Amino acid sequence: MQEAGGRRQEAGGRMQDAGGRMQGFDKCRNLRIFQNLSSSLKDREHTERMKRALVIIPTYNEIENVQTIIPEILRQDERLEVLVVDDNSPDGTAAEVKRMMTENPRIHILERQRKMGLGTAYLAGFKHAIAQGYDYVFEMDADHSHSPDVLPRFLESIEEYDLVLGSRYIQGVNVINWPMKRLLLSYFANQYTRIVTGLPVRDATGGFKCFRVEVLKAIDLDRVRSNGYSFQIEMSFKAWKKGFRLHEIPIIFMDRRVGISKMSKKIVREAVTMVWRLRMQSILGRVR
């Protein structure tokens, strides 16, 4: 940045010289002040634009969804890039993403050999984001349950907070098209999580969120144990315990229209025990 700023000043200087020759030094003073001001505004704008945000999308058999969701995401803000983490989807999701990559350099892919779960897919994406120097890192589903229109609001909030969570439960219940059974499960799972862990958020299991990369660097990613919904709880809990600032913004969650859910009873069982493990870690001062 300094180098860029320096170059800009030099350019400003050259313009002053030209102006000086034409109109005399004093007459150019106001023009110079104006030039310096506008150049410093441009510098600030430039610095902000330099922030890079990576939207990580884990996929398993989402070929139709990636075709539509990725362009919608990229349209929201020029700072956004997308990383698909695909687990060798039999429907050819990865091949489709690679085709899209030939047309747009803001799309990336990480391919894994087999279906290994949502949590480890995100962990692989987080490590990539850290290594590649991104500033903000999003989690987002491929299936249009999370609306890309909210991404600009996340980008605003992440300027002030360290972890911004999309919440279905801060303005009533904003879930569309879920069977009542699943909604009740999610709602009470969240109450249960809050009681057991103390995590002060309304929606701890949601998967639409944005981390400052510093949060990901502070958490020992190799020690993150959970893989399903409790992965979301574990990441937010660890961020909170490490003193980072969490903030919830309202989102509307829509059930998928295309493809099938990978939700299972095993994922629910994992969450039930994980919250107790987190509480124990906290009591013993072992949150890493």
**Residues near ligand GDP (CB under 6 A):** 58-60, 62, 85-87, 115-118, 121, 141-143, 145, 256, 261-263
Helix (H, G, I), strand (E, B) or coil at 96: helix
Q: Which of residues 144-203 bind Mg ion (CB under 5 A)?
A: 145
Going by C-alpha positions, the residue among 76, 215, 243 that lies closest to residue 156 is: 76
Judged by beta carbon distances under 5 to 8 A according to partner kind, the member of ligand GDP, Mg ion, none in contact with residue 117 is ligand GDP
Query: Which lies closer to ligand GDP via its Cβ, residue 35 or residue 145?
Result: 145
Going 275 to 281 to 287 to 288, the CA torsion angle's sign is: negative
Query: Which lies closer to ligand GDP via its Cβ, residue 87 or residue 248?
Result: 87
| Min separation Cβ 37 and ligand GDP, Å | 46
Q: Under rule CB under 5 A, how many of the chain's residues touch Mg ion?
A: 4
Q: Does 143 bind Mg ion (CB under 5 A)?
A: yes
Going 57 to 55 to 155 to 135, the CA torsion angle's sign is: positive
Going by C-alpha positions, the residue among 90, 57, 85 that lies closest to residue 71 is: 57
Query: Which lies closer to ligand GDP via its Cβ, residue 37 or residue 95?
Result: 95
Query: Which lies closer to ligand GDP via its Cβ, residue 141 or residue 203?
Result: 141
Copy the structure tokens of residue 220.
Answer: 């020992």
Going by C-alpha positions, the residue among 73, 71, 88 that lies closest to residue 140 is: 73
Are residues 245 and 162 in contact, defined by beta-carbon separation less than 8 angstroms? yes
Using CB under 5 A, list all residues that contact Mg ion: 141, 143, 145, 256
